[in-house]
Structure formats: structure tokens, C-alpha cells
A and B are shown apart, each in its own frame.
Chain A
Amino acid sequence: MKLGIVVQRYGADVNGGAELHARYIAEHLAPYAEVRVLTTCAREYLTWRNEFPPGADSVNGIPVERFPVEHERSEADFGLRSDHVFSRRHSLNDELAWLESEGPASPALIDRLQKSGHEFDHVLLFCARYYHAYHGARAVPDRAILVPTAERDAALGLALFGPIFRGVRAIMYNSPEEQALIHAAAANPHVPGVVVGIGSEIPGSVDPRRTAAAFGLAGPYVIYVGRIDANKGCAELFDFFLRYADARPAAPTLVLVGKPVLAIPDHPRIRHLGFLDDRDKFDAMAGAAALVMPSYYESLSMVALEAWAVGTPVIANARCDVLLGQCLRSNAGLYYANAAEFGAVLDMVLDDRALAAGLGRNGRRFYEQHYSWPVIEGKYLDMFASLSSNPPAHRMEKLPGWLARRQSSLRPAAQVLDELPSGPVVGVLA
């Protein structure tokens, strides 16, 4: 079986969520199939600047083909186009121009798929909202398997993605919430789909004492791992935590791991450790009283899964449907919707150690049952087998005609998104 994986960036040092997802899948499916990765030369997602050399490459034994990005992303142009299609009536051409502006526009990559995509039995396309996934799905619709990694974002309300969600051979969802959202947005329940998610490379053992000693972490602490960004809810986290810490002399330390985009408050109870390697990260996570996930939008939080894998409870933002659903399904995390709940939940996790241990155990069990690699690999292989044995039951819709594409008849995407159902999906195991 030959498997093509198409993703916007790829590399051992590329750490975006979807990119890491793609790399893990490529490496874990390599024993079962001949895997080849098709990607761009970009290393950085804000500009898509060509940094890797084009041509053949290899990453951890996986062959990689890199294609140049035709133009970098202009933040101003993308912002204007986003504002237009998200908040005003617009045409399909406007949406296509938005997609082109978002990037990474790599016509060479799409040409490669169009001309010789038939060499693959299946083509996994990561990140539905990007250029390569949209045009890649149109290039090889009968082989395309979409891994949308979609979150509750206005882009999901754009009309151009509907035919893609309805036209690919199958969709590998990250969470039941993502599946429900895409079903509601694109009316595609006829497309084979399964909630898979992703595993992680969990170390065989963790040593919290080592990290605590190395970084001088004395006393209990809660940890946040990820980009320290207002978009990830960190501003609200700081606000809630400072209020909590100011009211309690014996408050725990908030340990931050990751690259800061947002200014970190100067407070004795907030420690920023910077970017950590995996060993330190897992050790620090294992020693934490809880992992805090303040993000409002996630398609699947790998960090939360990693915390559960090492037996650490999660404290999640209740406004994120996916995190809330994961906490409810796993019974391994608590959640908060305001500062009072944040404080109460933190108190409970810190004070009730039996409860924290129970949450941690549930988290490990949840990870093992749904996100361990044998489970993930099995779901992918089952899907491949099912698609190979059945011919395509539906076709990709064609683009509307020249005139129809120019009619400003499409509603603002944000308005479309607002009308989609929200909330956690309870009772469905991932």
C-alpha cells in the first residue's frame, strides 16, 4: 500500500499541532505502508517563507518531497480578506482569493498530485482550511482522506469547504465535537468518518524530581504547555491566576512552558521555563498538580492527552467544546468558566489529593483506551481497508461557473458559524 501525506509544513523541528500530528501518523503508519510526505518548503506558518530547499528530503526515515511556496502571506492582505469574507456578504471568488492569500500557495505541490497522485492508494490531507488541502482534495478526490483538524473558527463557515467535506473519500476526525461541527456545517454524514485523534510519544518513565530540581520548582505547581498567546486563552489564564494567587498566600506556582507571544506578568508565583525538550516537558507535566488548558478553540489538545498519559489531571476552559467534552468523557479533568470556578477547581485539585489521583488514573485509562498508538493505527488501517474494498460512493462537486463564482450571494462566515450547534458531545467515546 502506498500512502501519501500532504501537509503544509513538515520537519523534525516543526512543532505545530497539525504538523506534529502528520509526522506522528507518517512515522507510525510507515511499518504498514510505503509512506511519502508531500509538503512545502516553508518552516514558519505566519509568512510561509521558503526555508527548506525544494526537492527530495528525508525526516526520521520518511521520504519527503518539498515544493516551493509561490508567494508569502501578506498579513495585511489576509486580514482584509478575512474581514471581508467573515463579516460581509461575498462571492465564492472572494473566498478563493482568501484561501490563496492564506496560503501556503504551492501550485507545484498541487501539480504533483494532479499528475501523479494516482500512484498513491490513499492521500491523507491535513488541515482542511489551507490551500494545499482544498486544492489537493480537488486534485485527487477519489483517494483523498481528510484530517480536518478543524476548530470552531469562522473559516468553517466559508462555503468553499462544503464540497470538500462532502467530496473526499473519508474524514478522520479528532474529536466527536469536531465531527458534529463539520456534519452540521457541510451536511456530510454520508462520507465515511471516524473519530481518531492522535497519540503521542510518551516516555517510558518520568522523573518529576529531576525537573523540579533542575528548574528550582519548590512546592506544588500547575503547568501550562504551549504557545503563550492571547489566542490560546493565556491572557484570561493570567487574569484568573493572579486573582487567585493574590487571595491565597499559599497559592501554587503557575509554570509556563512554551514560546511567549504575550507578555508574561511579573509575579513571584508565575515561572516561565521557556521551550523544553520532551523529557523535561513530560517530567514537568508529571510533577504538576494539574495541567491548565485555557484555550477557547481546539480540535484536539495533544497536550491534554499527554498530561493524561502521565497521570496528571487537566483543568480546562469550559468554553472550549472539545476540551469540555474530553473532560466529561474521560472523567479526568475539571473545567472553569470564570475566575471563581477557576479558583475553586484549583483548590479542589490541590487539596483533595484523592480526587486528583482519581482524575489522573482516569486520564491514563482514557489515553490508553482511545489514544494509544495501537488504537490509532488500527483505526487508520481499518479505514484504508474499508475504502480499498469499496468503490467511491460519491463524487466531488464541481466549482460553480464563471458568473456564479462572482455573485455576492454568500453570507458572512461568522454568521454561518454562529448558527452551527455548539457544546460538548457527551456519551460518545472518542
Chain B
Amino acid sequence: MDHNQGRRGHFHRGGRRGPDRRGPERRQVPGPGPAPDQASRGERNDRVDVEQIMREIRARIAQRSGVDLSNQQIHELAARRLEAILDPRGLKPELLDQLRRAAGERTVPVDAAPSAAQSYPFDEATLYDSPNGFLRFLRKLFNPLLRLLFNPTPVAHALAQQSRLNTELLQREADRDRRQAEWNALHYEILQRLALEVSRVSVDSQSLSMRVESLGTKVDFNERRVRTMEGTQARPSRPQESPQAAPQAAAAPSVPTSEAAPQPSAEGQPAGEPSRRRRRRRRGRRGPGAGVPAEAGVNAPAASASVVDMDEGDGEGDEGFEEEAAAEPVAVPGGPEGPPPPLRSEPVALDHQLPAATEHREEPAAAPEPIRTEEPPHTPEE
């Protein structure tokens, strides 16, 4: 649908896999300012630019969630969805306009009281009333004569009663219309909010699915890397293997893989090997090589080669890892959920006349390198 196509344009899904964001190349691309090196990091502390930091934080949030939609954009998205729900071809356009207007106004403008023409007031004197004064005088003059011929009072009473009933009826109808209009406005407002909420949820859901995908890639890569490292460690144990295993090992000379590992273990393994084997079990690895354990013996060389490639940093898994590293730019050991920084606990003397005289906090060896974006997606005014 058009809506979906339009929405996809906001996401960075394509950009995350693009060549300009791959491994070493991405690190070499400088930001708008000069890349701070180790020597300049100390100077950066004294030249903190809060606006720049906030731009970086907001860019990172947008990058991490994969979505760069402001509230305004989400509202526009919701409005488009609502248009799709309220298909103008199936509903009267005037009705929709009326609903929109009613939802936009605080009170629904419905004629609360019937107009004068609709509720004509009637009493006994109305029969003889006239805008012409002379005519009024004549009617008043001949009124006794008229009453001699017939009794106009019941007629006047009946008409007055009818007039009152008309007024009440119109009033009731106006009240009903007003209530109906208020209900309509309320329903439209609820619908609008629901559409907005659905839009928000769908944007969140897409960003979460991207996050899951990214984490899956990271897990996949880590798993392969663990296997590669274990294989590298297992290489010195090969001289102890039995002569029957040697030809098979020669067929896969580069790095043993998890699929190749069971062969030496069946014939005499070092003491630490069982625990390594337990870790080597695959954990739902995705991709073309994930679902072929039965053919492991046949495909072992190819699998080994692919693992070596991954380790060299050109593979998909490597990129996934690098992306995750980029998503956490603060270079703190243990990451954001790692061990917290120690509490500032030493007594500090405050000399307000000499601001530079005291130092409250410990300085780390190196400050993390800021991520620079060419076009900051948000400004403080947003």
C-alpha cells in the first residue's frame, strides 16, 4: 500500500546494510567536525557543547530505534491511516467534514433553541394583533361584535397550546441533535486517538523487530566467533589424535568447526573438551548454514572457510556486531548495564572565588569518541 511505502522511507533499514556503514570503512568516515584523537579528548572536557551532545543523543536514539519520526510525523501518519479507515468512497464526504469540524470544536454548534419562525408565540391577543395601528384599533373596536357572533377564546387557547407543543418539540429535537453531534464528535475523537495510538505502536513494533533482528545478528556472529576461537585453541591438541583422524583433519586444515569437532572427541579427547562441546551446540543459528547439521561432515571445509571469512570482518555477522557497537557509543567497560561508576565519596573543598582550584570527579584515562552526524534529526526546539 501507499502508506506502507511512504512509511518505509523514514526508516534506516537500507542504510544499515549499505556499504558506507560497513566495518572499517564506517569508522574512517569523519563526521562534520574533526575526529577527536586521544590527545584531544582531554581538551574536549573543557569544551563541552551541550547542544552538540544532545544532537548526538537524539541521533543515536533515532538510529537505535531505526525510526526518525517526530510527534508531528506520527500525527500525520495517523491522519493518513484514519483517512484510509474512513474511506471517502464509502462515506459521505459532507458527513466526514462535519465530523472533523465537530471533533475540532470544543462545543458542538447546534441550534439549541428553535428559531422564531419555527416557534410562533400565540396567545389570545395574537388573533387581533397587527403591525398596523389603525387596523389594531378597528379590531379592538369591533371585538365585542365579533364575540357576539362566535367565541374566539377556545380557538386562541387551542392555537396557543399547539404553539407551546411545537416549541417543546423543536427544543427536544434540537437537544437530541446536539447530543448526537456530541456523540459523533466523541466517537470521531476516539477513533482519531486510536489511529494515533495504533500508528505509534506499529512504529514501535517495527523498531523493536529491527532491534531483535540486530540482536539476532549479533548472537549469530558471537556464536561463530566462539566456535572459531575454540577451534584455534583446539589446534595444538591435534598431534595427540589417532592416525585414523589425520586424513579427515587434513581435509579441513584451516580451522576446525563445530561440525568437525565430534570426530576427534570420539577417539580420545583432552580433559577440557566436553565443556567446550557443550558450548558449541548451535543455538538456532539463522542463515543458509543453520539448518544442515546432518551434512556437517560433508560440508565441513566450506563451513570452516566461511567462519574464517567472518572472523576477518567482511561477513554479515561482523557487520551486525559493528552496528551494535555503534549503537552504544559510550565506551564504558561492561556497557550501559555494566558495573556502575563509583560514588564520589571524598570530601571536597569548595572555593568559589577560585573555580578551577578544586576537582570533584576522577578523570578517566580517555573520553569516548563522540558520534557525529551530518544532519542532526532533532533540535532542542523540537
A-side interface residues toward B, CB under 8 Å?
202-210, 212, 217-221, 248-250, 252, 286-287, 289, 309-312, 318, 324, 327-328, 330-335, 337, 340-341, 344-345, 347-348, 350-362, 364-365, 367-368, 372, 423-424
Contact = CB atoms under 8 A, between A and B. Distances in A.
A217 B340 CA distance: 14
Interface in B310-350: 330, 332, 336-350
Given A340-B65, A354-B41, A357-B361, A423 B381 contact: yes
Interface in B53-102: 53-54, 57-58, 60-61, 65
B50 A331 contact: yes
A217 B367 contact: no
A341 B58 contact: yes
Contacts of A335: 50, 54, 380
Contacts, number: 157
A257 to B, nearest CB: 17
Contact of A354 (B45, B60, B65, B339): B45
Interface in B164-203: none
Given A353-B341, A368-B355, A331 B348 contact: no
B350 A350 contact: no
A241 B359 CA distance: 29
A287 B360 CA distance: 9
13 contacts: A205-B348, A207-B347, A250-B338, A312-B360, A331-B50, A341-B57, A345-B54, A354-B367, A355-B53, A355-B367, A357-B363, A358-B46, A361-B46
A367 B350 CA distance: 12
Contacts of A220: 340-343
Contacts of A334: 50, 53-54, 57
A345 B53 CA distance: 9
Q: 5 shortest A-B CB distances, which residue pairs?
A: A358-B45, A357-B361, A354-B367, A311-B360, A207-B347
A197 B382 CA distance: 27
A202 B352 contact: yes
Contacts of A344: 57, 60-61
B348 A286 contact: yes
B295 interface: no
Contact of B340 (A206, A250, A345, A364): A250
Interface of B: 41, 44-46, 48-51, 53-54, 57-58, 60-61, 65, 330, 332, 336-353, 355-356, 358-364, 366-368, 380-382
Given A220-B343, A344-B60, A347-B336, 19 more contacts: A204-B350, A205-B347, A208-B344, A217-B343, A248-B337, A289-B341, A324-B380, A332-B48, A332-B50, A344-B57, A344-B61, A351-B341, A353-B363, A353-B364, A354-B366, A354-B367, A359-B48, A360-B361, A361-B45
Contact of A353 (B337, B345, B362): B362
Nearest to A287: B344
A371 to B, nearest CB: 10
A205 B45 CA distance: 24
B339 to A, nearest CB: 7
B57 A345 contact: yes
Nearest to B338: A250
Contacts of A204: 349-351
Tell me the dominant secondary structure on chain B's binding face.
loop
A264 B45 CA distance: 36
Contacts of B368: 352, 354
B50 A328 contact: yes
Contact of A340 (B51, B61, B332, B360): B61
Contacts of B61: 340-341, 344
Contacts of B360: 286, 310-312, 357, 360
Contacts of A331: 48-50
B208 to A, nearest CB: 13
A206 B347 contact: yes
Contacts of A361: 45-46, 355-356, 359
A296 B78 CA distance: 27
Contacts of A327: 50
Highest count of chain A CB atoms <10 Å: which of B50, B358, B382:
B50
Contacts of B356: 361, 365
Nearest to B50: A331
A160 B334 CA distance: 59
Given A334-B53, A356-B361, A212 B45 contact: no
Nearest to B360: A311
Contacts of A208: 343-348
Nearest to B361: A357
Contacts of B340: 219-220, 250, 252, 350
Nearest to A422: B381
A249 B50 contact: no
B352 A309 contact: yes
A280 B382 CA distance: 37
Nearest to A358: B45
A203 B57 contact: no
A249 B362 CA distance: 24
Contacts of A324: 380
A341 B356 CA distance: 31
B53 A212 contact: no
A327 B351 CA distance: 22
A334 to B, nearest CB: 6
A250 B380 contact: no
Contacts of B358: 311
B380 A328 contact: yes
A423 B382 CA distance: 10
